[in-house]
Amino acid sequence: AMSSSAAAADNSQWVSITEESLLLHDGLMRVTDFVELPQDDITSTDDKDQEVVTFDSKSPEELTEWLLTVCSNHNNAYARLLEYRLNGLKGFWKVQFQLALEEHNQRESASNDETIAMLKKHGLWKEPEQASFSTRVSLLLCLPLLQSQSRTDPRLSSLTTELLLNCLRDCPPLSLGKEPSDCLNGIESLLSSWLGEGESDDTITNPMHRQTAASALVALACARGDLKTFVHAVHLLQQIETDVQRLPAADILLALQEVRGGQSQPTSLLGSKHAVSWGYEEMLINVTNSSDPSSNARVLEYDVGRDVACDGKFLFITNSTGCGLIKIGTGLHGTLRGYNYSKNSDIGQGRLAWGQGLLLHRPSEFDRESSKFACLVDQHSLQLGKTLQLPVESVVHEVFTTIALCSDGSHFYWIWCAGSISDKAAKNQNIILDVLSVNVRLL
């Protein structure tokens, strides 16, 4: 405790010190109490006046001679000053590293406490129950008795395996991770010996009872979630597959599959610990639907709004009216967050979507051309390329109104309605969703 308090006191002395201040003479004067002074291992020259270089002389030859004399003396005042400044910087960097490590540990502890508090508030957190010493000893002492008595009474092993299977069925997957490992290892060893591992004398011979014991071993592996137990169970089941071909354990394995990663502590996103937004320069403020000037009035009539697509590395964004296109780095996979990599101001109003490795743009004009779906966009230059046609079965109306165009990475989802959405006379319009995919091999 005294050492930690002393370290905290030492660190507090560096709070007002910065790297910039250590490069100045006044800053060095503030750290004389806790920075190690350089050692004078080499005796200095007798001529102390030569240690200070003055620029009073205007003769280059004389000034050069003075500089050479000072530089040849490794124990001069300048060398000691540089060594003292270096010691100050090393001490500063060491303290900064310690402070950063302490802050990281405190942040992780606070984040964990905040997560547990949130889970308790919603009733999702359950305190782990530790088994008492007497319970553990009682169970460990019973296991050898069961194994020994099963040799004389085969019904004991069958009843025990049935009871274990029923109990383990009630245990959720991965819920026994906090239980004593020696007890679980003892149960695993008992079931394995009854299934014939190690050529033991207490092997169960009844096929139905062997099936129950194997199911109990699988249920134990699922409830425990230990990789070693899983491998052991699979290896043992492969050895007895001629005797036990099917197990009534489908519901147990299905419950384990639905857990997907464990239920000990659900993953949660704490907004206070993450950057929720960051700025960028749009560069498309004055861009209008230049590709079709006559449609600018329709832009005001039905505003598409800003559209965004992402390929995991870059964001592809239009302006607030759906016109133009810029390519911005996300900060992931080596990109610079917020940096404008490319821009195309000539693209008209439309929708964006990225999927199947393709960036698609559906111009608003395509709502009046029933056979066209979208245009391919070059993801480097942002220039429009080949026009993709709609399937024949999707062309049933002459006029569409695109409500949204999005993708999950493998398919494109086009949400639209027939006619014009701004037509006040139209009522009870049906909203239609088309799921489309692009045949990349034909491009």
Q: Judge whether 211 and 162 are in contact, CB under 8 Å.
A: no
Cα separation, 255 vs 175, in Å, equals: 12
Average pLDDT over residues 147-152: 75
Q: Judge whether 375 and 386 are in contact, CB under 8 Å.
A: yes
Does 314 have pLDDT greater than 90? yes
User: pLDDT of 157-191, one tens digit each?
Assistant: 888 888 888 888 888 888 887 788 888 888 888 88
Measured torsion, CA atoms of residues 113, 117, 118, 123, in degrees rounded to the nearest 10: 140
Cα separation, 280 vs 328, in Å, equals: 8
H helical segments located in 30-153: 60-72, 77-121, 133-149
Residue type, 123: G
Spans of all domains in the chain: 2-40+75-121, 150-259, 293-442
Q: What 3-state class would DSSP assign to 413?
A: strand
User: pLDDT of 95-111, one tens digit each?
Assistant: 888 888 888 777 777 77
Which token pair is 289? 């639907």
Taking the alpha carbons at both ends of the chain, their separation in whole angstroms is: 70
Cα separation, 439 vs 271, in Å, equals: 40
Does 355 have pLDDT greater than 50? yes
Is the pTM higher than 0.75? The answer reads no
Q: Judge whether 391 and 403 are in contact, CB under 8 Å.
A: no
User: pLDDT of 262-300, one tens digit each?
Assistant: 554 445 555 565 666 777 777 777 666 654 554 444 444
Which token pair is 256? 């384990």
User: Residue 277 to residues 258, 269, 274, 280: CA-CA distances in angstroms?
Assistant: 33, 15, 9, 10
Measured torsion, CA atoms of residues 378, 379, 380, 382, in degrees rounded to the nearest 10: 60
- C-beta atoms surrounding 128 within 10 Å: 9
- C-beta atoms surrounding 251 within 10 Å: 10
Cα separation, 69 vs 51, in Å, equals: 8
Residue 412 — very low, low, confident or very high, per pLDDT cuts 50/70/90? very high
What residues pair up with 113 in beta bridges, in sequence order? Answer: none
Nearby residues of 58 by Cβ (< 8 Å), 6 or more positions away: none
Q: Judge whether 340 and 331 are in contact, CB under 8 Å.
A: no
Residue 44 — very low, low, confident or very high, per pLDDT cuts 50/70/90? very low
Percent of the chain with pLDDT over 70: 74
H helical segments located in 153-226: 154-169, 181-194, 207-224
Which among 95, 101, 84 is positioned nearest to 18, based on CA atoms? Answer: 95
CA angle 121, 124, 127 (to 5 degrees): 95
Cα separation, 389 vs 105, in Å, equals: 56
H helices, E strands: number in the chain: 12, 11
Nearby residues of 435 by Cβ (< 8 Å), 6 or more positions away: 411, 412, 413
Q: Which CATH class, in words, describes the domain spanning 293-442?
A: mainly beta
| Phi, psi (deg, nearest 5) at residue 392 | -60, -35
Predicted pLDDT at 202? 66
- What is the distance of C-alpha 166 from the center of its chain? 38
More confident site: 126 or 365: 365
How many residues would you count in the chain?
443
What residues pair up with 325 in beta bridges, in sequence order? Answer: 344
Q: Are strands 350-355 and 358-363 parallel, antiparallel or unpaired?
A: antiparallel
